[in-house]
Amino acid sequence: MSQPRTDLAPGRFPADFTWGTATAAYQIEGAVREDGRGVSIWDRFSHTPGKTHNGDTGDVACDHYHRWQGDIELMRRLHVNAYRFSIAWPRILPEGWGRVNPPGLDFYDRLVDGLLAAGITPWVTLYHWDLPQALEDRGGWPNPDTSKAFAEYADVVTRRLGDRVKHWITLNEPWVVAFLGYFTGEHAPGRKEPESYLPVVHNLLLAHGLAVPVIRENSRDSQVGITLNLTHAYPAGDSAEDEAAAKRLDGFMNRWFLDPLFTGGYPRDMIDVFGSWVPSFDESDLGVIGAPLDFLGVNYYSPSFVQHSEGNPPLHVEQVRVDGEYTDMGWLVYPQGLYDLLTRLHRDYSPAAIVITENGAAYPDEPPVEGRVHDPKRVEYYASHLDAAQRAIRDGVPLRGYFAWSLMDNFEWAFGYSKRFGLYYVDYETLERTIKDSGLWYSRVVAEGQLVP
Ligand SMILES: OC[C@@H]1[C@@H](O)[C@H](O)[C@@H](O)c2[nH]c(CCc3ccccc3)c[n+]21
């Protein structure tokens, strides 16, 4: 059981803390038709008129595919000791399964060696939303065959990289993949099939569980985890009704994933709320899904304040906009939500370790002037959330690392290039990267292992 770290002075982090930045393949790589890469659902979706802001696509993005060596230099300037990135499944298996594309594996092989040579530990996300279109054409995540295809993909990648990559994240945010991809249709593949939502969640969790033993077999002594977007739910008022609404939102966003992963089954109260939507499945699936993990990856940006609603079945929950600062995404800045989330996870699920795999903020940054980008609100966002994380460590949460989202401005999914999250500013005309004040500040925090003014 993790012990309180009262030895840590305020603002100081453990000496062995993992400090990183994070990105994802489709958001930064570009080169979408290079070296045998297959089509992904995000290629198809972003090229579909009306789906993304301004019709933006990831065709070029930050051209990281050709600029990866310079981008490693950007990381070195930040003094980070880790870098979280995702592998594009369509580069490895252009049809999603079967035929392997060697140049795709070679790219990540070079990237991993470059990171290691720079003293930066690679943390690899196997799936960050870019499903091969060929698998979507065969049903996509509603089809349980996709779960098996994911395990095969994990086998190909970890056989090649498993000797040097020792930190693996199977999936990034199954809730987003399922709810935005198959319920609301805001994300690829853009399907609006409410009845597909829970089967997709189940098949994603099954894909995760099938991949864990494969990764452990091919990458000995590695740390394996999953990344969830967890939304701490607060009742907007102090009525029993609002308390119950917050519990239902917590069940929908958080416990529907945490329970099968850490406690052996889906939450009973939510099975009753979801009713006939809950898919039938073999009980043996739960044993696969519940494969022990070395860490839980947490993406935190903002909490939710909710009240009871007579409408919005079956959750009967309504989000409430509270006073406060909001980012360019319209997300409330609320660092206490990170502290409350971390302490709750430690109390209710006691994962072996927790890693913040994403935290950051979008603000409408101005282009560089004399080589500088002043982003004081982003500095304040990071400072206040790192303070919350440090308080959680002091109070005994086994928080082992933190990855700032993101290394550089990039393709922000349906928002295209209109939202900037980077520690580096990207000029999309020239693709020049310029460090922002937040990047300069973060590099000092990492170098000193503590918060700095
Ligand atoms: O929106 C910023 C980042 C994305 O760029 C990452 O790819 C993705 O992992 C990620 N997740 C979240 C929080 C969950 C969320 C995602 C998309 C839309 C709404 C909420 C924020 N972000």
**What ipTM was reported for this prediction?**
0.99
What residues pair up with 304 in beta bridges, in sequence order? 233
State both tokens at 59: 């065709």
Residue 348 has pLDDT above 70, yes or no: yes
Provide φ and ψ at 152, rounded to 5°.
-65, -40
Which of 187, 327, 405 for mutating ligand 1's site (highest number of atoms within 8 Å of CB)? 405
Active site residue 358: yes
| pLDDT tens per residue across span 249-303 | 999 999 999 999 999 999 999 999 999 999 999 999 999 999 999 999 999 999 9
pTM of the complete model beyond 0.90: yes
Residue that has been written with the tokens 């999953």 in this structure: 226
Q: Which one from 29, 136, 173, 412 is the annotated catalytic residue?
A: 173
Exposure string of 402-429, with b = 16+ CB inside 10 Å and e = fewer, is bbbbbbbbbbbbbebbebbbbbbbbeee
**Alpha-carbon gap, residue 2 to 4, rounded angstroms:** 7
**Alpha-carbon gap, residue 82 to 136, rounded angstroms:** 33
Residue 20 has pLDDT above 70, yes or no: yes
What residues pair up with 125 in beta bridges, in sequence order? 86, 169
| pLDDT tens per residue across span 294-311 | 999 999 999 999 999 999
CB neighbours of 338 closer than 8 A, spacing ≥ 6? 232, 300, 356, 359, 385, 388, 389, 392
Tally the C-alpha atoms within 13 A of residue 194's C-alpha that lie toward its C-beta: 5
Residue 398 has pLDDT above 80, yes or no: yes
**Alpha-carbon gap, residue 342 to 330, rounded angstroms:** 23
CB neighbours of 284 closer than 8 A, spacing ≥ 6? none
Cα-based angle 246, 392, 396 (whole degrees, multiple of 5): 110
**Alpha-carbon gap, residue 155 to 298, rounded angstroms:** 24
Using the mean position of ligand 1's atoms as its centre, give its distance from the Cα of residue 300 in Å.
9
Q: Is the CB of 327 under 6 A from ligand 1?
A: no
**Alpha-carbon gap, residue 391 to 346, rounded angstroms:** 13
* DSSP type of residue 3: P
Nearest-CA residue for atom 17 of ligand 1: 176
Q: What confidence score (pLDDT) does residue 2 get?
A: 77
- Cβ atoms of residues 365 and 328 within 8 Å: no
Q: Is the CB of 299 under 6 A from ligand 1?
A: yes
Provide the mean pLDDT of the chain. 98
Burial class (CB in 10 A: 0-12, 13-18, 19+), 268: exposed
Using the mean position of ligand 1's atoms as its centre, give its distance from the Cα of residue 283 in Å.
31
| pLDDT tens per residue across span 186-243 | 999 999 999 999 999 999 999 999 999 999 999 999 999 999 999 999 999 999 999 9
Q: Is the CB of 141 under 6 A from ligand 1?
A: no
pLDDT above 70: percentage of residues in the chain: 100
Residue 1 has pLDDT above 70, yes or no: no
- Provide the residue type at 194 as one letter: P
Question: Which of the four pLDDT bands, split at 50, 70 and 90, describes residue 121?
Answer: very high
| pLDDT tens per residue across span 53-103 | 999 999 999 999 999 999 999 999 999 999 999 999 999 999 999 999 999
- Which ligand 1 atom minimizes the distance to the CA of 175? 14
* DSSP type of residue 332: B
- Cβ atoms of residues 431 and 387 within 8 Å: no
Residue among 99, 207, 84, 204 nearest 156 (CA): 99
DSSP assignment string, 159-173: HHHTTT--EEEEEE-
Helix (H) or strand (E) holding 18: strand 18-22
State both tokens at 48: 């579909």
The sign of the torsion formed by the CA atoms of 240, 228, 28, 39 equals negative
- Cβ atoms of residues 341 and 298 within 8 Å: yes
| pLDDT tens per residue across span 129-143 | 999 999 999 999 999
Q: Is the CB of 101 under 6 A from ligand 1?
A: no
**Alpha-carbon gap, residue 95 to 39, rounded angstroms:** 8
| pLDDT tens per residue across span 24-54 | 999 999 999 999 999 999 999 999 999 999 9
Segment 318-340 mean pLDDT: 98
Active site residue 217: no
Residue that has been written with the tokens 């319920």 in this structure: 183
Which of 298, 302, 381, 413 for mutating ligand 1's site (highest number of atoms within 8 Å of CB)? 413
Which of helix, strand or coil describes residue 319?
A: strand
Helix (H) or strand (E) holding 356: strand 354-359
Per DSSP bridges, beta strands 433-435 and 424-426 are antiparallel
Using the mean position of ligand 1's atoms as its centre, give its distance from the Cα of residue 171 in Å.
13
Provide φ and ψ at 253, rounded to 5°.
-85, -35
Residue 144 has pLDDT above 90, yes or no: yes
Segment 345-369 mean pLDDT: 98
**Alpha-carbon gap, residue 132 to 32, rounded angstroms:** 12
Q: Is the CB of 403 under 6 A from ligand 1?
A: no
Q: Which one from 325, 358, 366, 429 is the annotated catalytic residue?
A: 358
Using the mean position of ligand 1's atoms as its centre, give its distance from the Cα of residue 314 in Å.
25
Residues in the chain, overall count: 453
